[in-house]
Chains A and B, each alone.
Chain A
Amino acid sequence: DAMVIQNPRYQVTQFGKPVTLSCSQTLNHNVMYWYQQKSSQAPKLLFHYYDKDFNNEADTPDNFQSRRPNTSFCFLDIRSPGLGDAAMYLCATSRGDRGYEQYFGPGTRLTVT
């Protein structure tokens, strides 16, 4: 059963054209995360929500924004994608207990042309 769902799986956008990636979860978890992963490197945390509380990483570019309209959904908005933003974007969720693992979605592969 799908628990963390990301749409689309593959996204192609043009340089500078805004794009939105979507994540939904059926786990009712408190925490939702967005990661950027390039070329088999470790995932890099962009931001996370604990319930409605938004936590931005200090080095996340302003170009990246996020929305969490309800418990189940979270969106990643890239306002003006550059070539360097081409990457795999991973959504993850967790129960908000540090003894609990994060569940990852399958990822969205973003290509910028």
Chain B
Amino acid sequence: AQSVAQPEDQVNVAEGNPLTVKCTYSVSGNPYLFWYVQYPNRGLQFLLKYITGDNLVKGSYGFEAEFNKSQTSFHLKKPSALVSDSALYFCAAYMDSSYKLIFGSGTRLLVRP
């Protein structure tokens, strides 16, 4: 069965420290992987995606993600966290050859001052 897993419900990090939000996937065929962020009472906002090519993908607001095929992972990273990065983060992948996204369960990031 195809799935996207985010093993951590919450990640806590101090401002200025690096952050990692983990994501692993299990999809058939080539993975099309995405990260979205959601602030309270708002829609999801696209951060970055991996389709093909370079395993390190750079996105919005200083975020980047590393695609690792052997570990079937797509972890989101940022070298220096900001308090304003505190939000809910979702990893997602397209199912099969469809246009439907499978979402992970979400990880709440809390950056303390």
Contact = CB atoms under 8 A, between A and B. Distances in A.
Interface of A: 4, 6, 31, 40-43, 45, 48, 50, 88, 90, 92, 94, 96, 98-99, 101-107, 109
B18 to A, nearest CB: 24
A77 B44 CA distance: 22
A42 B44 contact: no
B43 A105 contact: yes
Contact of B51 (A41, A90, A99, A106): A99
Interface in B12-56: 32, 34, 36, 41-46, 49, 51
Contacts of A6: 43
A48 B101 CA distance: 11
A63 B108 CA distance: 32
